[in-house]
Every structure is written in C-alpha cells, then in structure tokens.
C-alpha cells in the first residue's frame, strides 16, 4: 500500500508527493550510473527536506521502507512483507529475561521481586508499539511461550509438574501478556476515535482501497 494514499488531509501532502517523485528518479539514476552527480543531487534534496518540512524523519523512514522493504522508526520495525516488529521485540525480551534469570535466580530471590523486575524491565520492551501489531495465532503462541518460560521459573515449576499457564498466572497474580495487548489495542482505538476527523490516524482507520488487486498468472 502506497504511503501517499494516507496523506489526503495532510497540508504537506503535495510537497512530499513532489519530493517522492523526484527522489524516485534520483534513486533510479544513481542505481544505473552510480555517478557523483546523482549523489550530490540526492544529498542536496535531503538537506532541502530537512530545512523545509517537519516530516523529515517520517519521510526518510518511508524511503527506507520503499527501497529496503523495512525500517526502524521510533523503535518499531516497519515492513511491507511481514510483522518484523514482533520478532525484534521478542528477541530483546528474551535477552532481558535471560539476564534476570541469571542475576536474580528463583532460588535466591523473592517471587514478588522477580515479578517487579519483570514488569519494570522486560514487559515494556515487549509491548512498546504493540498497539498496531497484527497478531496471528502463531505469534500469540510464541508470545505466551516466552512469557511462561520466565513465569514458570519464577513459580519454581518445571514442565513435569503439569501446571497450566492459567494456574501459574493465577498463583503469581499476573495478567497474561495477550490480555494486556488487547487492552493496549482498545485504548489506542479509543484514542484514535477521539481525534478530529482530519487527523491522519483516523483517516487511515476508515480508509478503503480503491481499484482492483493485480493477480499474477499461475
């Protein structure tokens, strides 16, 4: 889906649209010729973007998505192909919970202390930006598995104890991550609904693509 389709009510839409077209031509020119003139023109135009519009960082993120299929914007991975942000956040989450398990071992640390450390250090890393995630069943299973990997050690159970995830969550008095994720999404939707009708997030929420999808011949 093209970035420009969501900028109908943006006062900088026409300005950025022209720059998008010019930058597209410059990237094509540079990829073919790899000449110094193309580099100089590209740098000059980027400086112009930086000086003339407050949307410079968002515009650079858009260019990164367009030419690299993904980018890191405000701590979130954005991609055309799949939900990369979940993989990235789970990777960082596992690093933090691994450090907590090594430093604050369950046998030597109170359960409430481990849960407080978890809520302060690990959980915000995983849930940051989760309001916009498209969570599939496979992703939900992975999130639950990584959460219970830490909580099961906190409760000092192993898999042969046959304790379900719900039983462990009830014993430790915690809210499962998936429930918190749904709460985050509900809060975000309510926040978007309170926005004026000309705000881009609300325009995107009610956007309906036009035209027909191109289906490749098999």
- Separation CA 202–CA 199 (nearest Å): 6
DSSP annotation string for 95-132: HHHHHHHHHS-TTTS-HHHHHHHIIIIIHHHHHTTGGG
Report the pLDDT value the prediction gives residue 50, as an integer from 0 to 100.
Answer: 52
pTM for this entry: 0.64
Report the pLDDT value the prediction gives residue 131, as an integer from 0 to 100.
Answer: 87
Which stretches of the chain score pLDDT less than 50?
Answer: 1-16, 29-30, 32-38, 54
Can you read off the two tokens belonging to residue 122? Answer: 């690990």
**Long-range Cβ contact pairs of 92-96 (< 8 A, separation 24 or more):** 92/125, 92/126, 93/122, 93/125, 93/126, 93/146, 94/146, 96/121, 96/122, 96/125
- Separation CA 144–CA 168 (nearest Å): 12
Report the pLDDT value the prediction gives residue 95, as an integer from 0 to 100.
Answer: 93
- Separation CA 197–CA 139 (nearest Å): 33
């Amino acid at each position: 889906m093209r970035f420009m389709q969501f900028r109908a009510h943006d006062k900088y839409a026409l300005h950025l649209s022209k720059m998008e077209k010019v930058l597209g031509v410059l990237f094509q020119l540079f990829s073919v010729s790899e000449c110094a003139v193309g580099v100089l023109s590209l740098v000059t135009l980027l400086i112009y973007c930086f000086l003339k519009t407050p949307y410079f960082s968002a515009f650079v993120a858009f260019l990164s998505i367009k030419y690299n299929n993904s980018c890191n914007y405000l701590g979130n991975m954005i991609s055309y192909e799949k939900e990369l942000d979940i993989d990235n956040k789970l990777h960082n989450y596992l690093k933090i919970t691994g450090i907590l398990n090594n430093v604050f071992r369950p046998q030597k640390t109170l359960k409430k202390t481990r849960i407080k450390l978890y809520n302060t250090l690990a959980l915000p890393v995983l849930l940051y930006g989760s309001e916009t995630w498209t969570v599939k069943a496979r992703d939900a299973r992975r999130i639950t598995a990584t959460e219970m990997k830490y909580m099961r050690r906190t409760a000092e159970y192993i898999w042969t104890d046959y304790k379900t995830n719900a039983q462990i969550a009830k014993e430790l008095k915690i809210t499962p991550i998936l429930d918190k994720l749904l709460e985050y999404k509900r809060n975000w939707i309510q926040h978007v609904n309170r926005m004026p009708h000309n705000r881009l997030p609300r325009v995107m929420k009610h956007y309906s693509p036009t035209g027909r999808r191109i289906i490749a011949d098999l």
